[in-house]
Amino acid sequence: MPEITGVGVSPGRAVAPLVRMPEPVAEPPSDAVLPAGADVAGESERVAAAAEEVRQDLERRAARAHGDGQAVLEATALMAADPTLVSAAQKRVADGTDTSRAVWDAAAEVTTMLESLGGYMAERARDVADVRDRVVAVLNGRPAPGVPQRDEPFVLAARDLAPADTATLDPATCVALVTAEGGPTSHTAILARSLGLPAVVAASGVLDIAEAALVLVDGAAGSIETDPSPEQVRKVEAARGRERHFDGTGRTADGHRVQLLANVGDGASAVAAAEMGAEGVGLFRTEFCFLDRADEPTVDDQAAAYEAVLSPFSGRKVVVRTLDAGADKPLPFLTDASEENPALGVRGYRTTVRHPEVLEHQLEAIARAGERSGADVWVMAPMVSTAGETEQFVATAHRHGVRTAGVMVEVPAAALAADAVMQRVAFASIGTNDLTQYAMAADRLLGDLAGLNDPWQPAALQLVRFTAEAGARLDRPVGVCGEAAADPALSVVLVGLGVTSLSMTPRAIADVAEVLLSVSRDECVRLAGLALAAPDARSARAAVRAELPVLDDLGL
Ligand SMILES: C=C(OP(=O)(O)O)C(=O)O
Ligand SMILES: [Mg+2]
């Protein structure tokens, strides 16, 4: 059975026919004109008919979607129904411009107009580009761009997935994701984990698999097998049918406590995390509330957004991270988009040098929301590199009445200075996504470097050990809130290295809980030793997985 390998980024196995994501719509040549003698009136009519077809398709899809996905599709359908784009395109067709090119240029005109209006209208510019691509696809008889819709289960294969694709992906029918590009912290990987879908990225051969071929995706091993045997299919289906259960108290088989917490980005995800039984929140990415803002949100706006996350966890721990703007999460009011190396640039806590007031306002809002919600609020700063920055941040947080202040350890320098850093904080949380990116000098979004950018890398695990040991010496809790915490096999290693809590996408909690319950703390320490001694990430993962038969029973 032919096998393609890539990097497994979301564990689990699934079997279904493969469906390929259509290639993005290419821009028609800028000088394309209608051929001599073309039926201008007919072409003009084709534009209107294509826009109408797009509108109907989007409305059909919106009716079947839920939540955010539905809202995105409804907004796009409204844009397709707006006659401005069609009439601007028809004017160009009448002047002799090629039909697809006319739509393209008309969309640019509408976008400029919306952007000049600012505010909500400017945000609709994205919908115009989406409608444009869909209309051009119809005009050329090509499949609509975006995630294909199917009534039967399928495995989605794509070059990579953009954030906009993710809103319309329906996990009821899409059972696994495989991409040719993308790294372990790409949007595909993050989406897959949040939906609990097995996923493999950086698997260059996936685009060569025939459409509709039956494939078995193993999101832990990072493999895609075509033509699986009936026995393999039966095993996968049996494991998928098993109920997962978390009793609300993360621990090893011998009762060593490991808090299992949720990563959230807004009120809705916090409500969902509380319903799934998370013990608290280990990472609230506050920047996710404001990614679409051109200006700094007011303290009132911030306090309301934070309260929505804190309230579902009243009486429980919520770790709020101050704004991590920059690199893959730019915020126009804080970051400079023209930096040459944004991942090494003015990101996270570093933005306070120029904009100290933004942190002050945010802490004020957090303190206010904390009081109203009754949650046990912990606050930490991202991208801290030195003990000096740590001291500064903790002092600022205390001034705003935040009692439990800490830092993220995601820059290798902070891990290497762990004793000095830990002396100054109430806790630390390790961001394995960035810690691995910086330790390995491998961009976290690049599929080509996904093998290096893997939290199983022994060098990255050494930095985790270093930090956790400093925490133990000083009696300070040290959590992990990077994507590594959601990998059940790696969670065992992290506990063995001395980590005291794990924060992850809520869907992963039950699997991680079950695997931890199958091992003693000593066993975790032994397995961590195996991982540290391995020559690379692949062998570390293989050595540990071979000692955890429970993973096979659970289909992980
Ligand atoms: C949790 C982390 O933060 P983010 O992914 O938001 O950078 C991390 O770097 O591991
Ligand atoms: Mg980070």
Predicted complex: ipTM over 0.90: yes
Q: Do domains 3-21+146-240 and 40-139 have the same CATH topology?
A: no
CA distance 233 to 242: 15
Is 481 a residue of the active site? yes
CB of residue 481 inside a 6 A radius of ligand 1: yes
- Architecture in CATH of 259-520: Alpha-Beta Barrel (3.20)
Could you tell me which residues come within 8 angstroms of residue 316 by beta carbon, excluding any fewer than 6 positions away? 279, 280, 281, 375, 376
Higher-pLDDT residue of 56 and 191 is 56
Is 524 a residue of the active site? no
Residue whose token pair is 């806790």: 427
Mean pLDDT of 170-189: 83
CA distance 172 to 417: 46
* pLDDT band, very low/low/confident/very high, at 163 (cuts 50, 70, 90): low
Nearest C-alpha neighbor of 311 from the set 277, 275, 267? 267
Residue 396 reports pLDDT greater than 60: yes
Mean pLDDT of 315-328: 93
Q: What dotted CATH number matches 40-139?
A: 1.10.274.10
Residue 376 annotated as binding? no
285 C-alpha vs ligand 2 centroid, how far in Å? 10
Residue 285 annotated as binding? yes
Instruction: Please report, for the chain, the start and end positions of each structural domain, with discontinuous segments joined by +.
Output: 3-21+146-240, 40-139, 259-520
- Of 185, 434, 464, the residue with max ligand 1 atoms within 8 A of its CB, to mutate for a pocket test, comes to 434
User: What pLDDT score does 17 carry?
Assistant: 96
Indicate which residue of 174, 289, 481, 524 is catalytic.
481
Weakest-pLDDT range from 201-210, 377-386, 393-402: 201-210
23 C-alpha vs ligand 2 centroid, how far in Å? 31
Mean pLDDT of 30-59: 94
CB of residue 482 inside a 6 A radius of ligand 1: yes
- Which atom belonging to ligand 1 lies closest to the Cα atom of 382? 3
- Which atom belonging to ligand 1 lies closest to the Cα atom of 185? 5
Mean pLDDT of 31-39: 93
Residue bearing the CA closest to ligand 1, atom 2: 431
Ligand lying closest to the C-alpha of residue 484: 1
Mean pLDDT of 84-113: 95
What is this structure's pTM? Answer: 0.77
Residue whose token pair is 């509380």: 274
DSSP codes joined into one string, 347-369: -GGGGGTT-HHHHHHHHHHHHHH
CB of residue 432 inside a 6 A radius of ligand 1: yes
User: What pLDDT score does 167 carry?
Assistant: 65
Residue 132 annotated as binding? no
Per the CB < 8 A criterion, the answer to whether 514 and 244 are in contact is: yes
Residue 538 annotated as binding? no
User: What pLDDT score does 533 carry?
Assistant: 98
Superfamily of domain 3-21+146-240: Phosphohistidine domain (3.50.30.10)
Longest Cα separation, the chain: 83
Weakest-pLDDT range from 74-78, 276-280, 488-492: 74-78
CB of residue 181 inside a 6 A radius of ligand 1: no
Span 290-306, pLDDT tens digits? 887 889 999 999 999 99
Residue 251 annotated as binding? no
382 C-alpha vs ligand 2 centroid, how far in Å? 7
Residue bearing the CA closest to ligand 1, atom 5: 433
Mean pLDDT of 446-453: 85
